C-alpha cells in the first residue's frame, strides 16, 4: 500500500526578513518625520506665541509711558508719530519709532478734540517663517489737569512779540498755530506756534495785501480780507507753517475796502464798505485757491462789517442804525437775495459776530447781544450783557461747549474778558485779565485743539498773547 505524502511550500526565511525590515523602515520613517514635524511645529508655535506675548507687552508698555508723559505735562503730547527712548531714567517721545530686538514699536498721537488725544501703540516684527506680523493697543488720554481748571480763573499764559511796532489786528487758530494779521508793516502776516502756550514762538511769516482787516483759516489756506483796492481777498497757502506763501488775490469790483471774510465749502464770502450799492457782499469760488472767481454779489450801499454763514443763509452785520443785521438767502450762490433786515439794539455798528448753538452773538460798542437765528425770517433777541468797564468790544470768540465767550476789548486795564454764556438770557462777565503793559486787544480766537485763547493787540512788547484756564 502506497502512502500519500504532502509537501508544504513557503518562502525562504531570508526573503521574509527583508520585507519585514523594509516595512519597519517605512513605518519608522513616517513616525520619525511626524515626530520631527510635531516638534518643529511645536517649537514654531511656541516661538510665535512668545513673540506675540512679548509684542503685546511692548505695546502695553508704550501706552503706560504716554500716560506718564501726559501726567507730567499734557503739552508734551504734540500730535505726531513717535518711538520711545529713555533719558536719565525718564521715558520720552523720540524719533518716529523704536526697536527692541526683532520688534519695532510706533506710537501715533492724534487729537480727538479739546483736551483729548487718541494714541494707538503698534508693535511689528517678522516671524522666522518670514511672515510680517503686528499687534496694536489703543488708549484715549484726557488732559485731566485742565479739567480741574476753569475759565473762571483765566490767566495770561504767555506772549510773543514780532519784529516791528505795528499792532496785531486779527487772529485765527488751527492745530498748534495762530495766524495773525497786522495793521501794516513788513511782514504783516505771521504764523505763531502756540503748542506751548507759555512760550509762543514764531513759525513763519509773509507779506500779504497792504492793509489786512480780518482772517479766516480753512484747511491748508488762510483767507484774508484787505483794504487794498486791487486785492480785497488774499489767499495764503499755510500747508507748511514755516513757509506761508501768498497763492492768489481777488479784486472785487469798485474800490471799497473789504472788512471781513467767512469761508464755507467752496466759497469765500466777502463783506465790504459801502460801494455805491454794488458788490458790498461778494461770493467768491475758491475751489481752486490759485484762481478765485466771482460767483455772485449783492449791494445796498451799506457798509458791511462782518459775516457769518449758516446753511443757505448769510447773516451780515453792518454799520447801519436801521439795518444792523441783514439776512441774505445764498441757496443760489450766483444770485444772493435779501430775505429780511433787522434794527439792532443798540444801533451802533456791528464790530464782530460768532455763533453759539442756534444763536448769533453780536458785539456793538460795549454790548454783547445774543440773537436766536434758528428761523432766519424771524430773528429774535435772547439776551445781552455789557463788557467790564464798558470797554468797546473789538472781537469775540467762544469755546466749543458754548459755556464761555471771550472778548477782545479796548480797555487798557482789562482787555481780555470772559463771559459766562451758559444761559444766554442772563450772561455775565466772570473774569477779566490784564496784559503786562497797558494795551488793548483787537482780535481774539479760541483754539479747540489746545483749549487756549489767543489775543492780538497794539502792545509793542506783547502783541500776541495766550490765555489759559487756571
- Which helix H or strand E contains 448, and what residues bound it? none
Question: How many domains does the structure of the chain reveal?
Answer: 2
Cα–Cα distance for residue pair 128/122, rounded to 1 Å: 20
**What pLDDT is stored for residue 1 in this prediction?**
46
98 and 53 in a common domain: yes
Residue 27 forms part of a structural domain: no
**What pLDDT is stored for residue 247 in this prediction?**
97
123 and 65 in a common domain: yes
According to DSSP, residue 9 is labeled -
Strands 367-372 and 380-386: antiparallel
**What pLDDT is stored for residue 279 in this prediction?**
94
405 and 364 in a common domain: yes
pLDDT tens by residue, 120-151: 999 998 988 788 999 999 998 988 766 688 99
Domain ends where: 146, 171, 197?
Answer: 146
Cα–Cα distance for residue pair 181/37, rounded to 1 Å: 73
134 and 190 in a common domain: no
106 and 137 in a common domain: yes
Cα–Cα distance for residue pair 256/292, rounded to 1 Å: 19
∠394-348-222 over CA atoms, to 5°?
35
The SS3 of residue 165 is coil
123 and 72 in a common domain: yes
126 and 73 in a common domain: yes
Residue 84 forms part of a structural domain: yes
109 and 87 in a common domain: yes
Cα–Cα distance for residue pair 265/63, rounded to 1 Å: 38
129 and 59 in a common domain: yes
**What pLDDT is stored for residue 42 in this prediction?**
59
155 and 87 in a common domain: no
- The single residue listed with the C-alpha cell 443763509 is 313
Cα–Cα distance for residue pair 137/123, rounded to 1 Å: 9
Residue 128 forms part of a structural domain: yes
**What pLDDT is stored for residue 166 in this prediction?**
87
Query: What is the domain extent for residue 165?
Result: 150-207+358-371+387-470
Q: What is the pTM of this model?
A: 0.74
Average pLDDT of adjacent 10-residue blocks, the chain of 470 residues = 49 60 71 62 69 90 90 83 87 91 93 84 88 91 80 97 91 98 91 97 93 97 94 97 97 95 98 95 98 97 98 98 98 97 96 97 98 96 97 97 97 96 98 89 97 94 95
**What pLDDT is stored for residue 18 in this prediction?**
74
Residue 258 forms part of a structural domain: no
Cα–Cα distance for residue pair 181/209, rounded to 1 Å: 10
Residue 265 forms part of a structural domain: no
**What pLDDT is stored for residue 197 in this prediction?**
97
Domain ends where: 146, 163, 185?
Answer: 146
Domain ends where: 109, 129, 146?
Answer: 146
Residue 245 forms part of a structural domain: no
Q: Please check whether residue 226 is in contact with residue 264, taking contact to mean a CB–CB distance below 8 angstroms.
A: no
**What pLDDT is stored for residue 5 in this prediction?**
53
Q: For residue 186, how far is the Cα from the chain centroid? A: 28
**What pLDDT is stored for residue 130 in this prediction?**
84
Cα–Cα distance for residue pair 230/128, rounded to 1 Å: 67
Residue 203 forms part of a structural domain: yes
67 and 163 in a common domain: no
**What pLDDT is stored for residue 60 in this prediction?**
92
The CA-based dihedral angle spanning residues 126, 132, 135, 141, taken in that order and rounded to the nearest 10 degrees: 100
Cα–Cα distance for residue pair 429/66, rounded to 1 Å: 38
- Phi/psi at 70 (nearest 5 deg)? -60, -45
70 and 127 in a common domain: yes
Cα–Cα distance for residue pair 423/404, rounded to 1 Å: 10
According to DSSP, residue 400 is labeled T
Q: How far is CA 259 from CA 56, 204, 284, 457, in A?
A: 57, 24, 15, 17
**What pLDDT is stored for residue 32 in this prediction?**
64
Residue 308 forms part of a structural domain: no
Amino acid at each position: 500500500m502506497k502512502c500519500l505524502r504532502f509537501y508544504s511550500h513557503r518562502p525562504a526565511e531570508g526573503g521574509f526578513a527583508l520585507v519585514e525590515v523594509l516595512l519597519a523602515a517605512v513605518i519608522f520613517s513616517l513616525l520619525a518625520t511626524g515626530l520631527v514635524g510635531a516638534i518643529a511645529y511645536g517649537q514654531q508655535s511656541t516661538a510665535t506665541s512668545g513673540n506675540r506675548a512679548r509684542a503685546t507687552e511692548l505695546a502695553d508698555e508704550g501706552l503706560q509711558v504716554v500716560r506718564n508723559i501726559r501726567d507730567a505735562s499734557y503739552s508734551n503730547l504734540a500730535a505726531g508719530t513717535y518711538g520711545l527712548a529713555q533719558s536719565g531714567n525718564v521715558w520720552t517721545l523720540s524719533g518716529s519709532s523704536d526697536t527692541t530686538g526683532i520688534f519695532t514699536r510706533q506710537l501715533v498721537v492724534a487729537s480727538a478734540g479739546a483736551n483729548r488725544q487718541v494714541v494707538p501703540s503698534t508693535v511689528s516684527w517678522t516671524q522666522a517663517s518670514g511672515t510680517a506680523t503686528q499687534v496694536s493697543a489703543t488708549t484715549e488720554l484726557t488732559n485731566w489737569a485742565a479739567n480741574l481748571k476753569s475759565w473762571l480763573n483765566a490767566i495770561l499764559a504767555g506772549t510773543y512779540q514780532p519784529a516791528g511796532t505795528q499792532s496785531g489786528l486779527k487772529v485765527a487758530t488751527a492745530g498748534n498755530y495762530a495766524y495773525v494779521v497786522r495793521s501794516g508793516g513788513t511782514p504783516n502776516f505771521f504764523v505763531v506756534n502756540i503748542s506751548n502756550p507759555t512760550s509762543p514762538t514764531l513759525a513763519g511769516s509773509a507779506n500779504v495785501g497792504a492793509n489786512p482787516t480780518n482772517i479766516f483759516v480753512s484747511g491748508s489756506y488762510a483767507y484774508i480780507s484787505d483794504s487794498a483796492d486791487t486785492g480785497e481777498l488774499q489767499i495764503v497757502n499755510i500747508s507748511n507753517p514755516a513757509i506761508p506763501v501768498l497763492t492768489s488775490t481777488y479784486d472785487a469790483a469798485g474800490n471799497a475796502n473789504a472788512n471781513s471774510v467767512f469761508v464755507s465749502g467752496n466759497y469765500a464770502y466777502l463783506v465790504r464798505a459801502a460801494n455805491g450799492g454794488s458788490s458790498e457782499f461778494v461770493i467768491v469760488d475758491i475751489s481752486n485757491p490759485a484762481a478765485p472767481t466771482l460767483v455772485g454779489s449783492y449791494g445796498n450801499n451799506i457798509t458791511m462789517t462782518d459775516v457769518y454763514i449758516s446753511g443757505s443763509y448769510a447773516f451780515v452785520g453792518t454799520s447801519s442804525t436801521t439795518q444792523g443785521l441783514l439776512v441774505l438767502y445764498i441757496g443760489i450762490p450766483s444770485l444772493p437775495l435779501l430775505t429780511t433786515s433787522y434794527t439792532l439794539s443798540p444801533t451802533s455798528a456791528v464790530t464782530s459776530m460768532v455763533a453759539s448753538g442756534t444763536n448769533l452773538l453780536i458785539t456793538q460798542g460795549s454790548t454783547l447781544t445774543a440773537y436766536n437765528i434758528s428761523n432766519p425770517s424771524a430773528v429774535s433777541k435772547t439776551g445781552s450783557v455789557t463788557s467790564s468797564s464798558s470797554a468797546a468790544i473789538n472781537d469775540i470768540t467762544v469755546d466749543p461747549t458754548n459755556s464761555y465767550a471771550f472778548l477782545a476789548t479796548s480797555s487798557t486795564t482789562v482787555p481780555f474778558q470772559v463771559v459766562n454764556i451758559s444761559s444766554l438770557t442772563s450772561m455775565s462777565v466772570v473774569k477779566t485779565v490784564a496784559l503786562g503793559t497797558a494795551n488793548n486787544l483787537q482780535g481774539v480766537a479760541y483754539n479747540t485743539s489746545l483749549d487756549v485763547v489767543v489775543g492780538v493787540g497794539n502792545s509793542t512788547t506783547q502783541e500776541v498773547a495766550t490765555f489759559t484756564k487756571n
